[in-house]
Amino acid sequence: MSNLFALSYGDVSLRVVRPRDAKNLERLVLSNREWLRPWEATNPHGPTSFDFKAQIKALLRQMEANEGLPFLIFYKDEMVGQLNVANILHGSVSSCVIGYWVIPQVAGRGITPTAVALVMDYIYNFVGLHRVEIAIRPENKASIRVVEKLGLRLEGVKKNFIHINNDWRDHNIYALTSEEVSEGVLNRWLKSGK
């Protein structure tokens, strides 16, 4: 997985995060704290770290172990967000989890669904996984709209699932299997006109 190429469609592209991205990623996250705070994971046992170099190194170690894929999202060649694939399991489970965010200036422009669809197609077609899952807080209407556009189904609620904004929060679980989108996630979404 370490030889990943860039994924792109139109003005949206993704590439694997690099250690030298730390300063730009830090600037993007810290300048959008109010937008991101209600949705970002926190540490229940201490302060949340903003050591972006260490976070990137940890994400790259997960990628080298075939357990994750850390992407940055770009719009017109400008970094606008992040998309991480985590908990990659092969074999009889053959699944993963996706998490994502974008800055408020580009929200609602179709950038996030495009990025998620590109990565899902990559996961199904090149990584060879069977199932993708996305956990979203019920209050996060913008993220729910993304998965609805892409046709992920609501499977249920995990109570007190992830520690976010200093408390354990419920999450809706959305999923899609490769058999449900034989034409590809991006192609199906583009044809749907949603």
Q: Is the pLDDT of residue 1 over 60?
A: no
For domain 7-192, say whether CATH 3.40.190.80 is its number.
no
pLDDT recorded at residue 88: 97
Q: Is the pLDDT of residue 176 over 50?
A: yes
pLDDT recorded at residue 47: 63
- Tens digits of per-residue pLDDT, 44-91? 876 666 788 988 999 999 999 999 999 999 999 999 999 999 999 999
Q: Report residue 168's pLDDT band, with 50, 70 and 90 as the boundaries.
A: very high
Q: Report residue 4's pLDDT band, with 50, 70 and 90 as the boundaries.
A: low
pLDDT recorded at residue 66: 92
d(CA 30, CA 103): 11
Cβ atoms of 180 and 174 closer than 8 Å: no
Contact partners, residue 183, CB within 8 Å, separation at least 6: 191
Share of the chain above pLDDT 90, in %: 79
With 0-12 / 13-18 / 19 or more C-beta atoms within 10 angstroms meaning exposed / middle / buried, residue 2 is: exposed
Tokens of 122: 């990559």
One-letter-per-residue 3-state SS of the chain: CCCCCCEEECCEEEEECCHHHHHHHHHHHHCCHHHHCCCCECCCCCCCCCCHHHHHHHHHHHHHCCCCEEEEEEECCEEEEEEEEEEEECCCCCEEEEEEEECHHHCCCCHHHHHHHHHHHHHHHHHCCCEEEEEECCCCHHHHHHHHHHCCEEEEEEEEEEEECCEEEEEEEEEEEHHHHCCCHHHHHHHHCC
Cβ atoms of 126 and 116 closer than 8 Å: no
Q: Domains of the chain: which residue ranges? A: 7-192
